[in-house]
A and B are shown apart, each in its own frame.
Chain A
Amino acid sequence: MQRILAAFGLCLVLAACGSSRAKRVDIADDDEIMGTGIESADVEAMESFAKSLLAVPELNGAGVRGTPTVAIHPVENNTRFDFDGELFVRRIRQRLVENARGRVRFVTRSAMDEAVIERERSEKRAGERTAKKAVTKTGADFYLTGTASAISKAGHGKESDAIWIDFRLIDAENGDILWEKTLKTKKVGKAGIVYR
């Protein structure tokens, strides 16, 4: 009994000293500092969409002439978590390029380009843009957009975040949605007793 108590006390003292070392973990693994936001595992999971996207007939079907170009936009953030919207773009673009093997061309677009694109699309619809001019600055046949939305709650020492990241492939000419996938995640966190 005496030894157990002494060992227990010693453990506490050592725990208080807090020796720590960084360790390497898999990028798709959850870590101890979990939180309820978007994790690297969520970003990695999104890469699986690439094959499904490339199977869309408008990109890969028999009737496709030439090399279609897809403009990838940064993920619009409607959550309470600040993140680099272009991180998603980089990850998904890499996987798409890898799987497309030259059959589809990809370009990235900044958020600022969106206004230009919208204006060009309106002009096309209104007939103000001639067929020759139709080769627009964007040069894209399709747009890949992403929107992150969330329902977040907190109270009574707990918080929860349900997050949806919707990806859409949109026809640049008519705005038709050709493909859509959603990454869903819900996390519930509990505040430690010393923070409640």
Chain B
Amino acid sequence: MIRAAALVLIAAAGCRSMPLYRAPVGPDAQATYAAIVADGHKRIAPEDEALWACELGSAALQVGAEAEAFKALHRASRIMATLESTSSENARAILGAEATKTWKGDPYERCMNALYKGLLYWRRGDLDNASASFKRGLLADAWSEVGKSQEDFAALSFLLGWVSWLRGKDEQARYSFKAAAGIKPNNPYLADPHPDRDNVLIVADVGRGPKKYADGPGGSIARFAPYDTPDKAIAVLVDGKRAGRSRLATDLFHQAITRGKKVIDGIRQGKAVFKVGTAVTGAVLLNEGLRRRKNGMAATGAGLLVLSALTNAKADTRYWSQLPGAVQILPLKIRPGRHRLTVRALNSRGVPIPGWSRTFDVTVPDGPGTLYWFSTGRDRTIHGLTDPPTQAKASP
């Protein structure tokens, strides 16, 4: 009896006091950004802080609030950087709901946090820290399944190669370009990079990232589903002339499903078995205890039923909902000076999607290493970071 009560207490300790954080993402980028900022003024559960900050970073990128995006992504990265956990956090997540643990993202989410931070450092002219961020992302990918899925995030390898070349680190550049080309040999830009010739590098977020959901007995299995959206690439026109189209560097759905089996997956499945087992045993004991008028047996049965009800085998389904489906790249050679860039979303046949385009006035500086970022938004427009931010270089 006492033991059963203690177990009930343990299970109860693992309950979340607040619901899981879900970013209020809508089709209007400005409204989404404002709503996520407003969420920050309410109380965000500490275990969801990194997720909220990642969502805020994405939303800020979409509206061109570059400094805010950096701040948010940096805030998240400080939490996501270490995967150490306390014993009380372990106890809560194992005995109670997995979602009581601090959200630190799956490897592909940690990679994307590092990728965005790297891009933003790059745009500030801080190439050292851009390089550091891309390296951090590549190491985060190493937490994926052992084997060929480790360090297969070609976008990060390619960007590290490009930024290394800009820093004069030719050996690192060669190594990283070779790694990127080895992962995606069909991408001509990855196979034959020319940072010396192509003075503008475009990084494009296309489509929507994978959705995470709970499946299986008691929702104990975490699965990912892809979103099918019509935008598959972007085409760029410079002063009305077609300059090129983006090519796939990294597919995030592929990254999500090749993360490998985790220890916590086994624990959840064990809890699901325990939940069913205690429910059946509890029901039998309660029934028998009442029938035979044995109070102890009935009470044990009732205790087991309560314990079963409190056992939470459900997988943690929190995920970074504003990630793109793919990261694509497009290196271009553009004469320095003022230009009009038209960016169009392309469908699976490479045909521009009507009404899904936007024009940007840019001033391409002299010299290599200009970085532009575009995203095919949910509002069927193109969001972008083009001319460098004017704010002073901020420290991390």
- Complex: chain A residue closest to B77, CB-CB: A82
* Chain B hits for A68, CB < 8 A: none
Contacting pair B83 A195 (CB below 8 A): yes
Given contacts A1-B2, A13-B9, contact A191 B264 (CB under 8 A): no
Given contacts A35-B81, A82-B132, A155-B143, contact A9 B5 (CB under 8 A): yes
Give the contacting residue for A84; candidates B101, B131, B395; CB below 8 A.
B395
In the assembled complex, B186 has its CB within 8 A of some CB on chain A: no
- Interface residue tally on B, bucketed by range: 35 or more
* Chain B hits for A76, CB < 8 A: 128
CA–CA, A11 to B143, complex, Å?
33
CA–CA, A153 to B100, complex, Å?
28
The dominant DSSP class at the B interface is helix
Contacting pair B12 A13 (CB below 8 A): yes
* Residues 101-148 of B contacting A (Cβ, < 8 Å): 101, 104, 117, 121, 128-129, 131-133, 135-136, 138-140, 142-143, 146
In the assembled complex, B48 has its CB within 8 A of some CB on chain A: no
Contacting pair B84 A12 (CB below 8 A): no
* Chain B hits for A193, CB < 8 A: 85, 90, 94, 263-264, 267
* Chain B hits for A191, CB < 8 A: 83-85, 143
Q: In angstroms, how far is the closest chain A Cβ from the Cβ of B81?
A: 6
Q: In angstroms, how far is the closest chain A Cβ from the Cβ of B40?
A: 20
Contacting pair B2 A5 (CB below 8 A): yes
CA–CA, A80 to B160, complex, Å?
11
Give the contacting residue for B121; candidates A12, A82, A190; CB below 8 A.
A82
In the assembled complex, A159 has its CB within 8 A of some CB on chain B: yes
In the assembled complex, A139 has its CB within 8 A of some CB on chain B: no
Report the count of interface residues on A (CB-CB < 8 A).
46
CA–CA, A77 to B164, complex, Å?
12
Contacting pair A83 B396 (CB below 8 A): yes
Q: In angstroms, how far is the closest chain A Cβ from the Cβ of B107?
A: 10
In the assembled complex, A175 has its CB within 8 A of some CB on chain B: no
In the assembled complex, B178 has its CB within 8 A of some CB on chain A: no
* Residues 150-167 of A contacting B (Cβ, < 8 Å): 152-157, 159
Contacting pair B93 A194 (CB below 8 A): yes
In the assembled complex, B202 has its CB within 8 A of some CB on chain A: no
* Chain A hits for B291, CB < 8 A: none
CA–CA, A13 to B6, complex, Å?
11
Contacting pair B90 A5 (CB below 8 A): no
Q: In angstroms, how far is the closest chain B Cβ from the Cβ of A195?
A: 4
In the assembled complex, B229 has its CB within 8 A of some CB on chain A: no
In the assembled complex, A33 has its CB within 8 A of some CB on chain B: yes
* Chain A hits for B132, CB < 8 A: 77-83
The dominant DSSP class at the A interface is mixed
Given contacts A80-B136, A84-B395, A154-B139, contact A192 B83 (CB under 8 A): yes
* Chain B hits for A111, CB < 8 A: 128
* Chain A hits for B169, CB < 8 A: 78
* Residues 1-57 of A contacting B (Cβ, < 8 Å): 1-2, 5-6, 8-10, 12-13, 15-16, 18, 32-37
Contacting pair A8 B6 (CB below 8 A): yes
Contacting pair B6 A192 (CB below 8 A): no
Contacting pair A9 B6 (CB below 8 A): yes
In the assembled complex, B98 has its CB within 8 A of some CB on chain A: yes
Contacting pair A190 B90 (CB below 8 A): no
* Chain A hits for B140, CB < 8 A: 154
Given contacts A6-B6, A79-B135, A196-B264, contact A156 B88 (CB under 8 A): no
Contacting pair B46 A82 (CB below 8 A): no
Contacting pair B12 A77 (CB below 8 A): no
* Chain A hits for B139, CB < 8 A: 80, 152-154, 159
* Residues 83-128 of A contacting B (Cβ, < 8 Å): 83-87, 111
Contacting pair A189 B83 (CB below 8 A): yes
In the assembled complex, B89 has its CB within 8 A of some CB on chain A: yes
In the assembled complex, B82 has its CB within 8 A of some CB on chain A: yes
Contacting pair A196 B13 (CB below 8 A): no
Contacting pair A82 B2 (CB below 8 A): no
Q: In angstroms, how far is the closest chain B Cβ from the Cβ of A60?
A: 31
* Residues 137-186 of B contacting A (Cβ, < 8 Å): 138-140, 142-143, 146, 150, 169
Contacting pair A189 B9 (CB below 8 A): no
18 A-B residue pairings within 8 Å (CB atoms):
A15-B88, A16-B100, A35-B81, A76-B128, A77-B129, A83-B396, A84-B395, A154-B142, A155-B146, A157-B263, A159-B83, A193-B263, A194-B85, A194-B90, A194-B94, A194-B98, A194-B101, A195-B85
- What 12 new A-B contacts, CB under 8 Å, besides A77-B128, A78-B128? A2-B2, A6-B6, A12-B88, A16-B13, A16-B14, A16-B92, A16-B100, A82-B132, A84-B396, A192-B84, A192-B85, A195-B262
